[in-house]
């Protein structure tokens, strides 16, 4: 009996050791301890680069060199067994690049600001988080080891900044106990080349009862922020700056005191300027000053008149699309209209509107679509709303890790193809078997279009279930919603047709786009079909380019979306099984099954709803 128990115990331990829970992300180097790594200087960052290479590099000894003649950014050069960089962080990025397999290259980041935005609340919950609670805040948070692993993962893909809290920010964030926490986090992230930033509540001094108002032009308010900046920089000398959501979805802002976004941003910018900090001011505003105006036009209406009126340490941060992280949107015309103020783009890694952590949707193709319209060189930075939580595998779905990885890689080089990134990630995360890599990368590349098809094809948008945004609710209408949250407001389906008329005959949102595109989108016969119902309201029997009617085409797309997921699930369930360890295979399989059911639900609910108008 004892013998039996012992052997059971040994089997249990062996299984535990083999259990593959995804926690290691794409960082699965095998210890080698073969390389001798030297450097012409020493620092905590350089030590990390040395340790990583000494432990895992297999190709011989390495020398690291700081070289002041290289261009002043985070770039690196790998030449034979030498990594050269201008900055220490560059040596670290070069080390990870070498471990990833890069050889004889010189590489420089396109964006100088490559930031994650965490929508983490101080109680540990995460707004639109689908992978457990916050790694930074709340009862279970703050494990220095975990934060170090997070830092390492980010550094391995070149992310150099992180906003630690939700843009719907608590005023408590800037109180002493929390700032001390920020200091502890910053200390762990610093050697990995990662700066910390905070989201702030614009009314903080007033909310804490330390000023009577939060009016940005009030002298006491300005002074309060200057004092606060001094306090922050004393604790965290390399603090990055503030991210601000103001006068948006109920958040306070300068508008509450009849001041403009520029007044608000500039007051904060002045407070951080002496310390080198920046203000990232979000353009995600609607409702407040523009009631009744098409929501997708409101950011340009609000910010264009202020263009050029911001201090030089203010950057406007705008979501990729003008609405809200839909599976497909045309790009935001803010990027065409704001010319005198630096812009940065906010992408959403967490899949709020793309199946959350239940669906396998690889987002790189969506982000590249954005860059095909908005050249990266026009942008001062890039931010990604993180999909990271306390779940053992960090992101909920094993494949959601690919979106974190892809965000970092594209933030470094937006010209990398989605396919290259997918393959890189697969080889590091699962196996280098080329059959597996070819099949799964193809599956990943098709996954976003599949999602658009089974959720909202042909330019449909925002027909999600209220609030949680997971399933379909095309009939969603409650008089007490803000109208901009009602699906019926967006699809406008009735017996005469479907779609939102944003052409020059409708809300004229098309006119916010640069000339050529404005014309292209305005004219129904030249408008790309993937944006058709975004820009036009059309009869059900409208003829599509392939000769089918709009109604037939809509049905075709919904079915196609479901068929794609069926195929993906089949592949994973049968052909791909033997390439993947049991735990990860099983967890992905289970989620693909859920995804399939949810895709069918989207198809059936949406087509069922539209049918009553299309086939009365």
- Closer residue to ligand GCV, CB minimum distance, 127 or 433: 127
161/192 Cα distance (integer angstroms)? 10
Closest distance of CB 394 from ligand GCV, Å: 20
- Closer residue to ligand GCV, CB minimum distance, 135 or 163: 163
Number of residues interacting with ligand GCV: please give it, by CB under 6 A.
10
- Judged by CB under 6 A, does residue 168 bind ligand GCV? yes
- Closer residue to ligand GCV, CB minimum distance, 23 or 468: 468
- Closer residue to ligand GCV, CB minimum distance, 57 or 325: 325
Closest distance of CB 478 from ligand GCV, Å: 16
Closest distance of CB 247 from ligand GCV, Å: 12
Q: Show the tokens assigned to 90.
A: 């560059």
CA distances from 211 to 230, 232, 332 (A): 17, 19, 37
- Maximum Cα–Cα distance for the chain, whole Å? 83
Q: Show the tokens assigned to 496.
A: 């005469």
Determine the interface stretch with ligand GCV among 57-65, 161-169, 487-495, 600-608 (rule: CB under 6 A).
161-169
Rounded to 5°, angle at Cα 484 from 167 and 549: 125
- Closer residue to ligand GCV, CB minimum distance, 45 or 326: 326
Determine the interface stretch with ligand GCV among 61-69, 93-101, 102-110, 165-173 (rule: CB under 6 A).
165-173
Closest distance of CB 281 from ligand GCV, Å: 13
Closest distance of CB 324 from ligand GCV, Å: 5
In whole angstroms, how large is the CA radius of gyration of the chain? 25
Is residue 73 flagged as an active site residue?
no
Query: What mask of x and - would describe binding to ligand GCV in positions 546 to 575, judged by CB under 6 A?
Result: ------------------------------
Q: What is the CB-side half-sphere exposure of residue 198 using CA atoms within 13 A?
A: 31
**529, burial (CB in 10 Å: exposed 0-12, middle 13-18, buried 19+):** middle
185/187 Cα distance (integer angstroms)? 5
- Closer residue to ligand GCV, CB minimum distance, 168 or 504: 168
Closest distance of CB 65 from ligand GCV, Å: 43
Residue 507: CB atoms within 10 A of its CB come to 17
Query: What mask of x and - would describe binding to ligand GCV in positions 498 to 527, judged by CB under 6 A?
Result: ------------------------------
298/248 Cα distance (integer angstroms)? 11
Q: Residue 583: what are its φ and ψ, rounded to 5°?
A: -65, -50
- Judged by CB under 6 A, does residue 391 bind ligand GCV? no
- The DSSP call for residue 466 is T
- Closer residue to ligand GCV, CB minimum distance, 74 or 346: 346
Closest distance of CB 516 from ligand GCV, Å: 30
355/152 Cα distance (integer angstroms)? 28
Determine the interface stretch with ligand GCV among 18-26, 47-55, 160-168, 370-378 (rule: CB under 6 A).
160-168
Q: Side by side, which strands form the sheet with 82-85?
A: 37-39, 62-66, 82-85, 76-79, 105-107
Determine the interface stretch with ligand GCV among 81-89, 166-174, 230-238, 310-318 (rule: CB under 6 A).
166-174
- Contact (Cβ atoms closer than 8 angstroms) between residue 459 and residue 595: no
- Nearest of 305, 331, 392 to residue 587 by alpha carbon: 392
- Judged by CB under 6 A, does residue 245 bind ligand GCV? yes
518/515 Cα distance (integer angstroms)? 5
Closest distance of CB 346 from ligand GCV, Å: 8
- Judged by CB under 6 A, does residue 284 bind ligand GCV? yes
- Contact (Cβ atoms closer than 8 angstroms) between residue 46 and residue 39: yes
- Closer residue to ligand GCV, CB minimum distance, 188 or 385: 385
Single residue of 93, 111, 119, 257 touching ligand GCV by CB under 6 A: 119
Mapped to the 3 state alphabet, what secondary structure does 475-543 carry? CCCCCCCCHHHCHHHHHCCECCEECCCCCCCCCCHHHHCCHHHHHHHHCCCCCCHHHHHHHCCECCCCE
Closest distance of CB 127 from ligand GCV, Å: 5
Is residue 293 flagged as an active site residue?
no
- Contact (Cβ atoms closer than 8 angstroms) between residue 554 and residue 457: yes
- Judged by CB under 6 A, does residue 584 bind ligand GCV? no
Considering 102, 181, 210, 249, which one is annotated as catalytic?
249
- Judged by CB under 6 A, does residue 149 bind ligand GCV? no
- Judged by CB under 6 A, does residue 125 bind ligand GCV? no
CA distances from 520 to 498, 503, 504, 529 (A): 20, 10, 12, 11
Closest distance of CB 128 from ligand GCV, Å: 5
- Judged by CB under 6 A, does residue 167 bind ligand GCV? yes
Mapped to the 3 state alphabet, what secondary structure does 225-258 carry? HHHHHHHHHHHCCCCCEEEECCCCCCCCCHHHHC
- Judged by CB under 6 A, does residue 324 bind ligand GCV? yes
Secondary structure (DSSP) of 95-158: HHHHHHT--SEEE--S-SEEEEE--B-TTS-BTT--SSS-SSSSTT---HHHHHHHHHHHHHTT
Considering 294, 324, 391, 587, which one is annotated as catalytic?
324
Is residue 145 flagged as an active site residue?
no
- Closer residue to ligand GCV, CB minimum distance, 387 or 429: 387
Considering 352, 391, 424, 587, which one is annotated as catalytic?
352
Phi-psi region of 228 (alpha: psi -120 to 50; beta: other; left: phi over 0): alpha
Single residue of 77, 86, 114, 128 touching ligand GCV by CB under 6 A: 128
Closest distance of CB 363 from ligand GCV, Å: 16
Closest distance of CB 337 from ligand GCV, Å: 20
- Judged by CB under 6 A, does residue 127 bind ligand GCV? yes
Q: Show the tokens assigned to 157.
A: 């893909």
Determine the interface stretch with ligand GCV among 67-75, 162-170, 264-272, 303-311 (rule: CB under 6 A).
162-170
- Nearest of 162, 180, 195 to residue 45 by alpha carbon: 195
- Closer residue to ligand GCV, CB minimum distance, 166 or 568: 166
* 3-class SS of residue 75: coil
- Closer residue to ligand GCV, CB minimum distance, 352 or 391: 352
- Closer residue to ligand GCV, CB minimum distance, 248 or 429: 248
Active site residues: 249, 324, 352
- Interface residues with ligand GCV (CB under 6 A) are 119, 127-128, 166-168, 245, 249, 284, 324
């Amino acid at each position: 009996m004892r013998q039996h128990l012992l052997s059971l115990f040994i089997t249990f331990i062996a299984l535990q050791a083999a259990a593959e829970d995804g926690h290691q992300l794409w960082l699965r180097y095998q210890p080698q301890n073969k390389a001798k790594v030297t450097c012409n200087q020493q620092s905590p960052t350089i030590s990390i680069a040395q340790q990583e290479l000494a432990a895992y590099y297999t190709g011989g000894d390495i020398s690291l060199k700081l070289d002041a003649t290289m261009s002043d950014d985070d770039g690196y050069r790998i030449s034979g067994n030498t990594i050269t960089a201008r900055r220490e962080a560059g040596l670290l990025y070069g080390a990870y690049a070498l471990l990833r397999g890069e050889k004889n290259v010189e590489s420089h980041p396109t964006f100088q600001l490559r930031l994650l935005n965490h929508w983490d609340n101080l109680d540990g919950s995460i707004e639109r988080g689908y992978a457990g609670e916050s790694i930074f805040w709340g009862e279970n948070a703050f494990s220095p080891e975990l934060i170090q692993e997070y830092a390492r993962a980010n550094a391995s893909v070149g992310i150099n900044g992180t906003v630690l809290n939700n843009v719907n920010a608590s005023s408590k964030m800037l109180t002493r106990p929390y700032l001390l926490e920020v200091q502890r986090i910053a200390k762990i992230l610093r050697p990995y080349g990662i700066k910390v930033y905070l989201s702030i509540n614009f009314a903080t001094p007033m909310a804490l009862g330390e000023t009577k108002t939060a009016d940005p032009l009030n002298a006491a308010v300005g002074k309060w922020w200057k004092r606060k900046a001094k306090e922050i920089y004393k604790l965290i000398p390399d603090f990055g700056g503030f991210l601000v959501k103001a006068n948006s979805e109920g958040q306070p802002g300068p508008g509450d005191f009849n001041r403009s976004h520029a007044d608000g941003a500039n007051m904060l910018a002045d407070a951080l300027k002496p310390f080198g900090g920046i203000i990232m001011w979000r353009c995600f505003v609607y409702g407040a000053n523009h009631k009744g105006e098409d929501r997708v036009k409101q950011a340009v209406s609000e910010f264009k008149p202020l263009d050029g009126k911001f201090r030089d340490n203010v950057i406007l941060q705008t979501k990729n699309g003008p609405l809200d992280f839909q599976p497909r949107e045309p790009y935001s015309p803010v990027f065409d209209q704001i010319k005198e103020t630096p812009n940065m783009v906010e992408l959403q890694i967490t899949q709020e509107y793309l199946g959350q952590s239940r669906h396998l949707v690889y987002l790189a193709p969506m982000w590249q679509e954005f860059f095909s319209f908005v050249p990266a060189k026009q942008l001062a930075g890039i931010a990604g709303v993180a999909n990271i939580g306390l779940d053992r595998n960090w992101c909920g779905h094993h494949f959601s890790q690919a979106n974190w990885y892809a965000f970092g890689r594209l933030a470094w080089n937006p010209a990398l193809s989605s396919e290259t990134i997918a393959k890189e990630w697969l080889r590091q995360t699962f196996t280098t078997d080329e059959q597996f890599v070819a099949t799964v990368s193809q599956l990943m590349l098709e996954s976003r279009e599949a999602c658009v098809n089974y959720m909202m094809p042909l330019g449909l948008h925002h027909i999600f279930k209220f609030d949680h945004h997971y399933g379909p609710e095309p009939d969603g209408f409650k008089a007490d919603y803000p109208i901009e949250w009602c699906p019926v407001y967006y699809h406008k389906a009735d017996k005469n047709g479907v779609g939102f008329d944003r052409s020059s005959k409708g809300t004229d949102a098309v006119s916010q786009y640069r000339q050529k595109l404005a014309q292209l989108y305005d004219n129904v016969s030249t408008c790309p079909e993937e944006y058709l119902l975004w820009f036009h309201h059309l009869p059900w029997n409208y003829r599509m380019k392939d000769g089918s009617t709009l109604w037939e085409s809509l049905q075709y797309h919904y079915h196609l979306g479901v068929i794609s997921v069926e195929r993906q699930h089949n592949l994973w369930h049968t052909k791909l099984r033997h390439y993947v360890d049991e735990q990860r295979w099983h967890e992905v399989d289970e989620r693909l099954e859920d995804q399939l059911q949810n895709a069918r639900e989207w198809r059936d609910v949406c087509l069922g709803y539209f049918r009553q108008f299309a086939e009365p």
